Amino acid sequence: MLYRELGRSGIKVSEIGFGAWGIGGDWGAVDEKEAVDALRCAYDQGINLYDTAMVYGGGKSERLIGKAFRNDREKIVITSKIPPKSYRWPVTDDDPIEQTFPADWLVECVETSLKNLGTDYIDVIQLHAWTDAYTDIQGWRETFKKLKEAGKIRGYGVSANDWDPYGATNLAQKGLVDSVQVIYNIFEQRPAEKLLSAALESETGIIVRVPFEEGLLTGTIKPGQTFPEGDWRAQWLADGRLEAAYRRVEGLKVFLDDGVHSLALLALKFCLSNPSVSTVIPGMRTVKHVQMNVEAADGQLLSAETLEKLKEHAFVHGWAYPWSQ
């Protein structure tokens, strides 16, 4: 495993982090022993960053992380997220921050996450939605600074709205947070147009989520796929969307060779090949997922020629998630 700096935060993170939404149960039933085994396997493979959120499984994801690492807390990095008080995603310019992220709500949620995790500090706390209208508002940052002074958090950032590649650019340009989490992958390349370069210049860490486009870029989700009960992708990929995406995924196989032998590996290396990226957090639920994903952190990045050719495979589809429609 290789490691990178999370911007200027002073926190060193593994190139591959553990995306812990799935172990919360929002993608179907979860075997808790299997989830803990996956977390411990990730640790043994050198993964030190575990990304979760207060709302993942109503706190289940956080509790499993706490259970898995109760004796190794100082050796890992935990990033979690505070939901809008409205519990409505995405937040927009018309949503007053007093209704989404008031100071007392930020403090309450941090305390809830600390209890779930069984720890006395969170390495990086993030707003679980973002609008540029909040950039110059002082209150939320002042609250986080107080929590940092109190030792409750080490750093803070934001998680950009789903499929919003530009919304956190101004925030990154001004260097007001330690990190920005954003969707970035072979299909969704728009963050590279503005956000990633702004983050690199201001030394803002970039946490990449959805590197597999919710599993599509692994090539394992094919037309006719059935999803387990509770997996929201059954709705998201309906009405011909899966078929349309699969044709594009098949076109990526020309990039496979002895060095990059799978589409999943190609997808992860694409993200890591951008110098602004601190870590990539694919979702993991099993030991098998962990073993497949850690292979990408071998220091072998994609060539400039390959990256240029991959630009032709961007696919801006505009498919909103079920919860944001």
- Find out whether 14 and 49 touch, Cβ atoms under 8 Å: yes
Q: What is d(CA 249, CA 185) in angstroms, rounded to the nearest whole number? A: 12
Q: Which of 150, 154, 147, 148 is nearest to 123 (CA)?
A: 154
* Amino acid, res. 35: A
Could you count the other beta carbons within 10 Å of the beta carbon of residue 19? Answer: 27
Going edge to edge, which strands form the sheet with 18-19? 18-19, 49-51, 77-82, 122-127, 153-159, 179-183, 205-209, 277-280
- DSSP state letters, 54-110: TTGGGGHHHHHHHHHTTT-GGGSEEEEEEPPTT--SS--TTS-HHHHS-HHHHHHHH
Known catalytic residues?
A: 56
For residue 206, give the 3-state DSSP assignment.
strand
The strand pairing partners of 283, in sequence order, are 19
Within 8 A by CB and 6+ apart from 130, the residues are 91, 158, 159, 160, 161, 164, 167, 168, 171
Phi (first) and psi of residue 10, to 5 degrees = 85, 5
